[in-house]
A and B are shown apart, each in its own frame.
Chain A
Amino acid sequence: MIEVRNVSKRYGNVKALEGVTSKVKNGEFVSIVGPTGSGKTTLLNIIAGLLTPTEGDVIVDDVSLYELSPSERTAFRRKKFGFIFQSFNLISYLTAIENVEIPLYLAGVQQTEQRIIAKRLLDKVGLRDRLSHLPSELSTGEQQRVAIARALASNAAVILADEPTGNLDMRTAEELMRYLKELNMGGVTVLLVTHNPQIAGFADRKIQIVEGRLI
């Protein structure tokens, strides 16, 4: 369970979020929707433990995220969350398989084991033949699938996806969403930030933000 308790975030006089309170149950597929600049990504970053709120707290499985030290929070994030970003955010000088191995390396998995798991995950997202390709040698759809494999590598219970379809054509975007839905059916909680209502339609529930407030 992810519980957002009265979270506010201000940058000087600018209010990015104001008194946001919400709950996401384990295994839910929730989309956070709203216009550009409404505070969706800020909320996702706060839930991920990447951005300290000005007020309020985030509780994930009974752990108060912002009562942890920064290094404890990093370790918690590593175990609990998988990330998918709009611009894929693959490491440009690492091959597809090496990118997928990163969370496994961070989790302390042995090198040979890392390779086996990463191969299996890339196979699962249909990239068996692209293991040794650099991100620049992959199509945008393929890059996003590598990002998904990387998000799954740590066996994360929660996938946090920030506009994951923003750089994809509609067909590839729908393919990705079906894949996320499939993951969710397998018990993974998915929190999806999007401004696209069609993409948001894949979720079980929508949280709408306008000017930093839930409506």
Chain B
Amino acid sequence: MRTLDFVTKELGRRKWRSTTGILCIILGISIFVAAQTTNKALYDKTKEQLLRLGANIIVQPKEEPFDIYSGLSASSATLPEMYADKIRSIEHSKMLVAVSPKLYERFAVGEVNLLVAGITDDERRAKPWWMINRMVLIGEFPQDKEVLLGHYAGAHLGAVSQIELNNETFSVTGVLDETGSADDFMAFVILNVLQDLTGKRRMVSMIEVSTSCIACPKMDIYDVANEIDKALPDDAAVIPIKQIAEAQIGTLTQIEDFTRVIYIVVLCLGAFLMMNYMFSSVSERRHEIGILLAIGMDAGEIYKVFILKALILGVVGGFVGYVAGTLISMVASPRIADASISPLPQLLPYSAVLSTVICVISSILPARRAAQLDPVEALREV
């Protein structure tokens, strides 16, 4: 016999009772893991959706900024296009999803005063929601002497297959579906074509930067904006778009707060269930404790037996709870939150440690009660 045998043999030979005990902690830990896994998926999904709101940092000439809200009036002030490269080489460049330099110029096309944006291939990454007839762009993205029309720009121009800009002919590759943004009123050509057309070589009106905090969870877009600001000369104004930034940070904070509340509730629930189980275990085993005390087991050893039991239940409960929680989230989350779930193996050690700590802490009082039992009283109970 060893101290451990009093625990393992009791657990093994009272299987139904042991199962009840371990279920308490498995329940708590599986809820913890399911909540964590689901929230991580929701967190990632929310980030992706927020990203779709568009650029969250704008770099403009400090001297005469472009009106980013209406997007309908052009400015003559420009920035060197090479600033885009400087932005791409900041320390936390992995947070940059797209760096999209743009030049804006107005042209008279027949009766229509058309705002034309020169864009690069980065625009496709920054605006994955651009579609034509609900299909993502493939061949319609403009090349060389081609132009892509925004929804209302196309409506104003009528069904045209080509337009003239500064006496040069551009074929229309398509008309975008309505986006609900200033893009609906513009036409898009390749940046260097517009630069040649306007004589503004290697110059841009603004640079739109789309960031994602997924790669660096400890940073927000204000940190990225600061980093970009330091990387650029003084003539560039770096403006994080406040509404988007705050929505992004606010939503993610809410998810984190929600997760934290779940942790606390689960912690309390797990501890309460475990304490309850251990108290009832002490109560059921009073007679046995009385026998052991009578034949010479000291109170410290009795205490050790119960703490050891809590330790074993905690470790096993942590592992099983992790597996159960992951399975629950994989089954339930796609239905509840429309989020695809990946198991988080990094949660396994956390689950085991959390479960063990909960079990041991919540068993201290029951174990103490067991150790303080009066053997004569306990022996009277059969």
- B8-34 near A? 1/0 per residue, CB < 8 Å: 011011100000000000000000000
Contact assessment for A74 and B296 in the assembled complex, using a CB-CB cutoff below 8 Å: yes
Contacts of B216 in A (CB 8 A): none
B64 at the interface (CB under 8 A from A): no
Q: Number of contacting residues on A, CB 8 A?
A: 33
Asked whether A71 and B299 contact (CB < 8 A) given A50-B294, A89-B379, the answer is yes
Contact assessment for A91 and B288 in the assembled complex, using a CB-CB cutoff below 8 Å: yes
Contacts of A98 in B (CB 8 A): 1, 5, 9
Contacts of B288 in A (CB 8 A): 91-92
Cα-based distance from A48 to B294 in the complex (angstroms) = 8
B65 at the interface (CB under 8 A from A): no
B157 at the interface (CB under 8 A from A): no
Cβ distance B7 to chain A, nearest Cβ, rounded Å: 10
B109 at the interface (CB under 8 A from A): no
Asked whether A93 and B9 contact (CB < 8 A) given A45-B376, A87-B382, A105-B1, the answer is yes
Contact assessment for A154 and B296 in the assembled complex, using a CB-CB cutoff below 8 Å: yes
- B31-55 near A? 1/0 per residue, CB < 8 Å: 0000000000000000000000000
Cα-based distance from A111 to B1 in the complex (angstroms) = 6
Q: Which of B9, B291, B382 has most chain A Cβ within 10 Å? A: B291
Contact assessment for B296 and A106 in the assembled complex, using a CB-CB cutoff below 8 Å: yes
Cβ distance A41 to chain B, nearest Cβ, rounded Å: 9
Cβ distance A89 to chain B, nearest Cβ, rounded Å: 5
Contacts of A94 in B (CB 8 A): 1, 5, 9
Contacts of A150 in B (CB 8 A): 295
Cβ distance A127 to chain B, nearest Cβ, rounded Å: 17
B293 at the interface (CB under 8 A from A): yes
| A 78-131 contacts with B by CB, 8 A | 78-79, 83, 85, 87, 89-94, 98, 101-107, 111, 114
Contact assessment for A74 and B293 in the assembled complex, using a CB-CB cutoff below 8 Å: yes
B136 at the interface (CB under 8 A from A): no
Cα-based distance from A77 to B287 in the complex (angstroms) = 18
Q: Which of B287, B294, B297, B298 has most chain A Cβ within 10 Å? A: B294
Cα-based distance from A79 to B288 in the complex (angstroms) = 20
B137 at the interface (CB under 8 A from A): no
Cα-based distance from A92 to B14 in the complex (angstroms) = 10
Q: Which of A45, A74, A89, A114 contacts B291 (CB 8 A)?
A: A89
A134 at the interface (CB under 8 A from B): yes
B2 at the interface (CB under 8 A from A): yes
Contacts of B13 in A (CB 8 A): 93, 134
B252 at the interface (CB under 8 A from A): no
The closest CB in chain A to the CB of B288 belongs to: A91
A138 at the interface (CB under 8 A from B): no
Contact assessment for B376 and A51 in the assembled complex, using a CB-CB cutoff below 8 Å: yes
Q: Which of A50, A79, A106, A111 contacts B297 (CB 8 A)?
A: A106
Contacts of A101 in B (CB 8 A): 1
Q: Which of A45, A92, A102 contacts B295 (CB 8 A)?
A: A102
Measured as residues with beta carbon below 8 angstroms from the partner, the interface class of chain B is 20 to 34
Q: Which of B287, B291, B296, B298 has most chain A Cβ within 10 Å? A: B296
B292 at the interface (CB under 8 A from A): yes
Asked whether A71 and B298 contact (CB < 8 A) given A91-B288, A98-B5, A102-B292, the answer is yes
Asked whether A93 and B10 contact (CB < 8 A) given A104-B1, A105-B1, the answer is yes
The closest CB in chain B to the CB of A154 belongs to: B296
A75 at the interface (CB under 8 A from B): yes
| B 125-168 contacts with A by CB, 8 A | none
Cβ distance B312 to chain A, nearest Cβ, rounded Å: 15
Contacts of B382 in A (CB 8 A): 87
Cα-based distance from A111 to B375 in the complex (angstroms) = 26
Cβ distance B299 to chain A, nearest Cβ, rounded Å: 7
Contact assessment for B298 and A75 in the assembled complex, using a CB-CB cutoff below 8 Å: yes
Q: Which of A85, A92, A106, A114 contacts B379 (CB 8 A)?
A: A85
Contact assessment for B2 and A111 in the assembled complex, using a CB-CB cutoff below 8 Å: yes
Contact assessment for B9 and A103 in the assembled complex, using a CB-CB cutoff below 8 Å: no
Contacts of B1 in A (CB 8 A): 94, 98, 101-102, 104-105, 111, 114
Cβ distance B57 to chain A, nearest Cβ, rounded Å: 66
Cα-based distance from A92 to B284 in the complex (angstroms) = 12
Contacts of A51 in B (CB 8 A): 376
Asked whether A103 and B2 contact (CB < 8 A) given A89-B291, A98-B9, A134-B13, the answer is no
Cα-based distance from A45 to B2 in the complex (angstroms) = 27
Contact assessment for A74 and B9 in the assembled complex, using a CB-CB cutoff below 8 Å: no
The closest CB in chain B to the CB of A109 belongs to: B1
Contact assessment for A78 and B299 in the assembled complex, using a CB-CB cutoff below 8 Å: no
Contacts of B297 in A (CB 8 A): 74, 102, 106
Known: A70-B299, A93-B12, A101-B1. 20 other contacts (CB 8 A): A71-B298, A75-B296, A75-B298, A77-B295, A83-B294, A83-B295, A90-B291, A91-B288, A92-B288, A93-B9, A93-B14, A94-B5, A94-B9, A102-B1, A102-B292, A103-B295, A103-B296, A104-B1, A107-B296, A154-B296
A-B contact pairs, 19 of them (CB 8 A): A71-B298, A71-B299, A71-B300, A75-B296, A75-B298, A77-B296, A79-B296, A87-B382, A91-B291, A91-B292, A93-B10, A93-B14, A94-B5, A98-B5, A105-B1, A106-B297, A111-B1, A111-B2, A150-B295
Which residue numbers of A lie inside 8 Å of B, CB to CB?
Answer: 45, 48, 50-51, 70-71, 74-75, 77-79, 83, 85, 87, 89-94, 98, 101-107, 111, 114, 134, 150, 154
Which residue numbers of B lie inside 8 Å of A, CB to CB?
Answer: 1-2, 5, 9-10, 12-14, 287-288, 291-301, 375-376, 379, 382
